[in-house]
Amino acid sequence: MGAQLNLVEQNLHLVAVSSRQMLFHIPSSSLFELDGLTAQLIERLRHRPQQTAEQLIGELSAQYPADQIAETLQELVALELVSDGSPLTPEIALKKITEFPLNTLVLNVNTGCNLSCSYCYKEDLDKPSEGKKMQFDTAKQSIEMLIAESPHESRYNIVFFGGEPLSNLRLIKDVVAYCEARFAELGKPVDFTMTTNATLLTEDIADWLNEHRFGLSVSMDGPKAIHDKNRITVGGQGTYDVVSRKAKMLLSRFRSRPIGARVTLTKGVTDVRQIWDHLFNELGFSEVGFAPVTSGDISYYNLSDDELVEVFRNMKLLGEEYLAAALEHRSIGFSNMHQLITDLHEGNKKALPCGAGVALLAVDHEGGLNLCHRFTGSGLDTFGDVHTGIDKERLGGFLEQRLDRSDTGCESCRIRNLCSGGCYHESYARFEDPTQPVYHYCDLMRDWVDFGIEVYSRIMAENPAFIDSYISPRRAH
């Protein structure tokens, strides 16, 4: 008698899409459409484990040829969806992190900001007059450190952040000039990215940003009543009128790359579709992305559990519009759905929540190396500085804690390779421990991914050209 076979439940998830049954192969983040034989084998092993191949062939031989059943079982064993008793391949074989292939640096060019958004997470935020500006020598050393640490990367990205980065425009212009010359010497392309509140934009600035092909994201929370609720001046005045005016000017002049709007959802704000409609259809942003606040330092601004459920319900309703548009070969610029579709299409598998600490580090105004832009000025220790380089031992040790999924609940979760425990800063804000996964909306995230699988499967079945037109090109920006 052959080896007893068992279903490896933690490696597969089934999602019904219309009349089809899709299998999400969790270790590789890949999708397969089940044929009748595979579906029957999974069903039988799910309800009656420890059967042998011979037993399964005997049960199904009236419907399928024996060699087809045996071959399908071999494929399922190879994919580690069915176990024959052999040890399973560890999903995260890397236990020690010693390499840090940096390709992205976030420069925190000024701690000062001319706004006083009530929900801001930045711990080093200052009033405009008290802002601590990064000096050019620090920025230059940051670039040289990036090149020295990662000389073999094919492309580099410099992100300008704040505070409000445009409040240190002189430095940004100097850094861009230096980078364009320095990376040209190396024969390497460099991209520039910036998130701005848009209030300091002028036509000349917009044209300069366009000339240097900046990737731009404008922080804007929606129509006037919603935006002015939290995005206010230092004096407490709403900023919608000026931001919308500047955004329209920017959108009318900027042609080199699509411009996105970044929306922060706070307590009492759940109408995702209304916000998207205003920013996409009325103002003309190319994409709109939503970031729910669930664990900020000021609990008043956190979405309640019921509100978070409503946010995800509304995101799925907008996702249905996204699908309908995609089947008509149109994009409605819903960034959250774009990203999920991208992850599923490319089979993205994340051992860690994001590139922070591995491909990305943030430099504070003094030159300290932070896990990401959210941590500059925080109580989390820095991981070296731009003069002495990365403290690789400390940084590797920190990341290794998050690689270890044992006893976290993540080890068998079906979205473990898409979520990887969630944002470090969210963990830090919630638990004062960035290595601890966040759990407060796991069920909502699992449901969101199931919905994404359905949307992606429909697109691939009914209009796969949408992916080539609207998903793949996003990687080029």
CATH number at residue 57: 3.90.930
Burial degree of 424 (CB within 10 A; 0-12, 13-18, 19+): buried
Question: 294 pLDDT exceeds 60?
Answer: yes
**Mean pLDDT, the chain, integer:** 93
- For residue 146, the SS3 value is helix
Residue 438 lies in a domain: no
Q: Are residues 157 and 12 in the same domain?
A: no
- Tell me phi and psi for residue 230, to 5 degrees: -125, -25
**Is the same domain home to 165 and 309?**
yes
162 and 242 in a single domain? The answer is yes
CA distance 62 to 43: 17
Question: Would residue 447 count as lying in a domain?
Answer: no
Task: Please state, in angstroms and rounded to a whole number, the distance separating the CA atoms of residues 455 and 432.
Answer: 36
Biggest CA-to-CA distance, the chain: 81
pLDDT per residue as tens digits for the range 18-54: 999 999 999 999 999 999 999 999 999 999 999 999 9
Residues 65 and 129 in one domain: no
Q: Which of 5-14, 289-298, 403-412, 425-434 has the lowest mean pLDDT?
A: 289-298
Do 136 and 230 share a structural domain?
Answer: yes
**What pLDDT is attached to residue 1?**
47
Q: Check residue 205 and give its pLDDT.
A: 98
Question: At 293, is the pLDDT very low, low, confident or very high (cuts 50, 70, 90)?
Answer: confident
Say if residue 71 is in the same domain as residue 130.
no
168 part of a folded domain: yes
| In the chain, % of residues over pLDDT 70 | 97
**Residue 449 covered by a domain:** no
Residues 239 and 363 in one domain: yes
Instruction: Report yes or no: 134 and 110 within 8 Å, Cβ to Cβ.
Output: yes
- Structural domain harbouring 46: 4-83
Of 162, 89, 182, residue with least CA distance to 121: 162
**In this structure, are residues 54 and 61 in contact, taking their beta carbons and an 8 Å threshold?**
no
Assign 299 a pLDDT band (cuts: 50, 70, 90): low
Evaluate whether residue 181 is within a structural domain: yes
pTM here?
Answer: 0.92
Rounded mean pLDDT, 228-234? 92
Long-range pairs of 166-170 with CB within 8 A, sequence gap ≥ 24: 166/194, 166/196, 166/200, 166/201, 166/205, 167/110, 167/112, 167/113, 167/114, 167/128, 167/131, 167/200, 168/109, 168/110, 168/131, 168/133, 168/134, 169/200, 169/205
Whether residue 50 lies inside any domain: the answer is: yes
Number of domains comprising the chain? 2
> Bigger pLDDT: 62 or 300?
62
Domain co-membership, 191 together with 144: yes
- 463 in a structural domain: no
Number of Cβ within 10 Å of residue 75's Cβ equals: 12
In a domain, 242, yes or no: yes
pLDDT of residue 445: 96
Domain shared by 44 and 108, yes or no: no
